[in-house]
Structure 1
Amino acid sequence: MEAIKDIPTARASTMSTFTTMLYEPAATFRGLQEKPQGWLPMLALMATTTVLMLWYFSVVDFTWLLDQMLASMKTAAEREQAAKVMSKNFLQISSLVSTLVFYPLFFVIMGTYLMIASKTLSHGLSFGKSFSLAAWAGIPAILLLPLGALQILLSSSGQLGFSDLNPVSLNQLVFHYEMANRFASLADALSLTSIWSIVLLVIGFETWAQVKRSTAILVVLIPHVLVYGAWFAYAASKAA
């Protein structure tokens, strides 16, 4: 009987963890140290992204979207080949599969990196704990569901690009690159939510690995600077 009574409390505790991670991350990470349960935020991120993608493809003006995507290709041959395979079902399924693969893969890679870094610098984190750290730091991306939903509701014509679903990306806020621009995907990837996640990763690594704040910043920034730097260099080489 007591176990049954404890179920609502456990659910409330889980929900509060999702919210307190956004405004009180250090205390939340300390509370998660014993049972980090990294699969919870990962499943939440996969679910919210899936819901947003399904909703998006149910309302988007696909003819318009396809024209926008084909316009970003340089040659007529590329456009002709792409038009043969870019059906609505193909794009929807590929987007959903990408979502289901991306989050676990990203958290595995980041978790492995954080595990190695922590063992080099301190007493070390297990893979499970470093995986959970990466997953919980990704929580700000859940906010893309209400933000994307608002964009869909405001677009009565259905002429809404993928990048428009994230109104807090640097592309939407600052650069306003068209889809054909080589720097568009990079500017779309950099957003207030991704920056927020980097901050959470710093706080979490500092808390769990018991290192200085400056060390945590360095550890977290290294892979991000390398990836985004390489992405920028690639885009610049294509734009030249």
Structure 2
Amino acid sequence: MELVQNPIQAMKDVFIKPNQVFATIAQTHNWSWLPFIFISVLSTLPMYFYFNFVDFNWYRELMISTSAGDLSPAELDMMRQTMQQPQILLVSIIGVLLSTVLSNAVLAMYLNIATKSDEECVQGFTDWYGFTWWVSMPSIVTSIIAVLIVTFASDTQLSPVNLAPTSLAFILGVPMDSSWASLTQAIRIESIWVMYLIAVGLSQWTQLSLRKTYLIATCPFLLIWAVWFLVLSF
């Protein structure tokens, strides 16, 4: 199998030739910094564009109406005073970065444990953590689409659901105040792409059977969504 020559080429080829990419990064070091930086920067851009475009007073009232519950008028006024555009933008950007870093760390821990059954697998947690940034590359497609939606929007009262344009919430038009909003925003089209890339990577990094690689790749996503669905249903 022809290996990839450099990390920039790998970032392109992971979308079209993932087998070569994962075969290559199994033998290289420090390439994962590039997708980490690329994903981190692009994931914050939709937030930056959104909060510099949206009617923030409208956004603030939307967030309060969907999350405040039975707060008193005084408590609602306090929420309005604390929710200011610069602070919300900063918190949102930090939240996106931290959630990505932590979720990838959890995924890496899971993959490290799940592949222990392969005695020939020599990768440790740090290897799998680097691996997670490569399988997360489809998220940049969502970020680019979200930036385009905000850029070409004409109505400043733009729902934050538009920041997840590949989610079921966006596709099905699930309102923010729905009890299903969080779950449907979490289920995204690129998740299928990510699962596929995990399976491809596992096939290159381990001697596990094809069936087991796909089971490992899909299990955490499907299990989380199923439990989340059951909690909302009952």
* TM-score bin, normalised by smaller chain: 0.7 to 0.9
Please tell me whether the aligned partners of residues 147 and 167 of structure 1 are also in contact (alpha carbons under 8 angstroms).
Answer: yes
Give, in whole Å, the separation in 2 of the partners of 1:235 and 1:65.
25
Map 1:88-99 → 2, pairs under 5 A: 88-99=85-96
Q: Which amino acid aligns with 2:11?
A: F
Match of 1:13 in 2: 6
Structure 1 CA distance for aligned equivalents of residues 46 and 8 of structure 2: 20
Output aligned runs, 1:90-129, within 5 Å.
90-124=87-121, 125-129=123-127
Query: Contact conserved, 2:42 with 2:144, CA < 8 A, in 1?
Result: no
TM-score (norm 2): 0.87
- Identify the match of residue 32 of structure 2 among 35, 38, 54: 38
What code does the residue aligned with 1:202 have? Answer: A
Q: 2:147 aligns with which of 146, 149, 154?
A: 149
Q: Match for 2:154: what amino acid?
A: S
Aligned to 2:164: 166
Q: Which amino acid in the other structure matches residue 45 of structure 2?
A: V
Query: How far does residue 63 in structure 1 lie from its aligned partner after superposition?
Result: 1.4
- Counterpart of 1:6 in structure 2 is none
Of the structure 1 ranges 185-194 and 65-74, higher mean CA displacement relative to structure 2 is found in 65-74
**Is contact 1:61–1:158 with CA below 8 Å preserved after alignment?**
yes
State the distance in 1 between where 2:17 and 2:168 align: 25
Q: 1:14: Cα distance to partner?
A: 2.4
Identity across the alignment (%): 23
The AA in structure 1 aligned to 2:162 is D
Name the SS of the counterpart of 2:6 in structure 1.
Answer: helix
**What's the C-alpha RMSD, in Å, of the aligned pairs?**
2.0
Q: What is the rounded CA distance, in whole Å, between the counterparts of 1:191 and 1:52 in structure 2?
A: 16
Cα 1:93–1:236 change in 2 (3 A) is: farther
2:217 to 220, 231, 236: 220
Structure 2 counterpart SS, 1:156: coil
More helix by share: 1
* Distance of 1:168 and 1:231 partners within structure 2: 19
Consecutive unaligned residues of structure 2, counting only runs of 5 or more, are none
Q: Pick from 55, 75, 87: which aligns with 2:70?
A: 75
Aligned to 1:193: 190
Distance in 2 between residues matched to 1:195 and 1:86, nearest whole Å = 35
Using the size of structure 1 for normalisation, the TM-score is 0.85
Q: Give the distance between the partners of 1:16 and 1:91, measured in 2 at CA.
A: 36
Supply the AA of the counterpart residue of 2:178. Answer: N
Runs of 4 or more above 4 Å deviation = none
- Quick one: which of 194, 206, 210 aligns to 1:209? 206
How far is the alpha carbon of 1:170 from its aligned partner?
1.5
Contact 2:169 2:175 in 1 (8 A): no
Pairwise CA distance, 1:152: 0.8
SS in 2 for 1:22: coil
Counterparts of 1:122 and 1:168, CA distance in 2: 38
| Deviation for aligned residue 1:76 | 4.1
Letter of the 1:216 partner, please give it. Answer: T
